[in-house]
Amino acid sequence: MDRRRFLKTGAVGAIAAPLATPAIAQDKRQWKMVTAWPKNLPGPGVAAQMLADRITTLSGGRIEVKLFAAGELVPGRGVFDAVSEGTAELYHAVPAYWGSKSKGILLFGSQPFGLRADEQVGWLYHGGGQALYDEMYGRFGIKPFLCGNSGPQWAGWFRNEITSVDDLKGMKFRTTGLASEMASKLGMAAEALSGPAMFQALQTGALDAGEFIGPWTDSALGYHQVAKYYYWPGVGEPSSAEECGINADLYNGLPDDLKQVVSNACESLYNPVWTEYTTKHAISLKNLVDEEGVQVRRLPDSVIEAMGTAAAEVIDELRQDDDKLVQQITESFVSYRDSVGSYMTYADNGQMNARAQVLGY
């Protein structure tokens, strides 16, 4: 995959003027979707286009969604504000980018040593998470839906090998969300760069290491060209949920059938997006190792344990946050994680360990 095709849309675009009432002609609406990704970037860029197309199709054309990649209308990190303020009708991004709004938001996307993709959506549907998700985003005039997941992410691309926790101290490292706070507690200098910017920073030495998503997306962005050590497990993000945020006033003004269309479009994409990541990550990893000479390494146990200690401190701080809603979100997350996690010892974890014992994978 030629990474250069994804860099052309990475420039910061001018922010458009706030919208007037969206065009409605003969019960037809034209919506702008702004995204945090280069257009058609394998993984999130592809998923964003799938969502735009699905809303258009399921609505029978009554909602026509046109996608604008990062920088075409607003910068990638500006999509939340664009939808909140009415500049665009909806966005596709990840909750990990909105920690400056509230740290409680970060739990809805990914958490160090937290929920897997199936557990994440289980918390929202069956553990009270969606009501808290709605309440938090409602503060900003946004109605949120999960609409995909990357599955387990990787620890990242490193220019040098990691042998101990001491190797992390002072390291300039690209990551986002709560993983950034975990990294900071280990003495790392965490930087939240875009995917294309991470490549450039690794190339010039402005970064020592960084994580983005996983083999499928990472190979398209060319990280293997500038850092050969690819570390696992990605304990900073055991999964990373993708979300669709819709202007709340606009969503609330829809007739009930179109509300259901939008909801179904988002929810019905969660598994297809997640399983596409899993399938193509596996293929891409083999290519990276066999054809590009990437060296796959496991983080040392001592590093994983130190990360676990730091992650526990991050969660404890959220439990003591001044914002009562952040406390509620954290307690709900911890309760669901501990309940389902204890069951997974016998269920999925047990099955996977048994398969590895017999088949080696």
Q: Check residue 15 and give its pLDDT.
A: 39
Which amino acid makes up residue 341?
Answer: G
Residue 22, pLDDT > 80, answer: no
Q: What is the Cα–Cα distance from 186 to 332, expressed in whole angstroms? A: 26
**Does residue 32 fall inside a structural domain?**
yes
**Per-residue pLDDT tens for 224-252?**
999 999 999 999 999 999 999 999 999 99
Q: Where are the beta strands (DSSP E) in 9-70?
A: 29-35, 63-68
**Does residue 286 fall inside a structural domain?**
no
Which of 40-57 are b and which e, b meaning 16 or more Cβ less than 10 Å from the residue's Cβ? Answer: bbbbbbbbbbbbbebbbe
Which amino acid makes up residue 251?
Answer: Y
Residue 21, pLDDT > 70, answer: no
Residue 5, pLDDT > 70, answer: no
**Does residue 30 fall inside a structural domain?**
yes
The count of residues in the chain is 361
Q: For residue 144, what are the β-bridge partners?
A: 245
Q: What is the Cα–Cα distance from 109 to 192, expressed in whole angstroms? A: 15
* This prediction's pTM: 0.91
**Does residue 129 fall inside a structural domain?**
yes
Q: What is the Cα–Cα distance from 301 to 285, expressed in whole angstroms? A: 23
**Does residue 64 fall inside a structural domain?**
yes
Confidence label for 75 from pLDDT (cuts 50, 70 and 90): very high
**Does residue 21 fall inside a structural domain?**
yes
Residue 26, pLDDT > 80, answer: no
Tokens of 61: 């054309």
The mean pLDDT of the chain is: 94
Residue 179, pLDDT > 70, answer: yes
**Per-residue pLDDT tens for 321-356?**
999 999 999 999 999 999 999 999 999 999 999 999
**Does residue 106 fall inside a structural domain?**
yes
Q: Check residue 25 and give its pLDDT.
A: 54
Mean pLDDT of 158-162: 97
Domain count, the chain: 1
CATH number of the domain that residue 96 is part of? 3.40.190.170
pLDDT > 90: what percent of the chain? 93
Q: What is the Cα–Cα distance from 326 to 310, expressed in whole angstroms? A: 19
Q: Check residue 27 and give its pLDDT.
A: 86
Mean pLDDT of 90-109: 97
| Containing structural domain, residue 106 | 3-150+238-279
**Does residue 342 fall inside a structural domain?**
no
Residue 110, pLDDT > 50, answer: yes
